[in-house]
Amino acid sequence: MEIMINKKRKKHLDIGLLNTISHNLRTPLTCLIGFSRLLEATKLTKKQKEYLGNLQLSTCQLKINIEDLLMLLSKQKSYGMQKYEQKI
């Protein structure tokens, strides 16, 4: 019985940690994407447009990398829990 309670508690902590990491990475990134879109609507010099394009490209790539990382972490946690449950 105690093993089951500890397993549920660990699973809950793992999900909470993953959610916190997800929020802490995605929130500032979403802000950068939003502000870059606002900047697009303003009058910019050619050099500023180049900088903005680089910023948008980088934030897009970073978003993809974060999504991939979070998916891998989620799958790893799920797989780890399945292996742990099989041992019990």
> Residue 76 has what pLDDT?
78
Q: CA 12, CA 29: separation in Å to the nearest integer?
A: 26
Nearest to 56 by CA among 87, 27, 33, 40: 33
pTM: 0.68
Per-residue pLDDT of the chain (88 residues; tens, 9 = 90+): 555 556 566 655 567 788 888 899 999 999 999 999 999 999 999 999 999 999 999 999 999 999 999 898 888 776 665 554 555 4
Q: How crowded is residue 42: how many other Cβ atoms within 10 Å of its Cβ?
A: 8
Exposed, middle or buried: residue 63 (CB in 10 Å: 0-12, 13-18, 19+)?
A: middle
Domain boundaries in the chain? 11-83
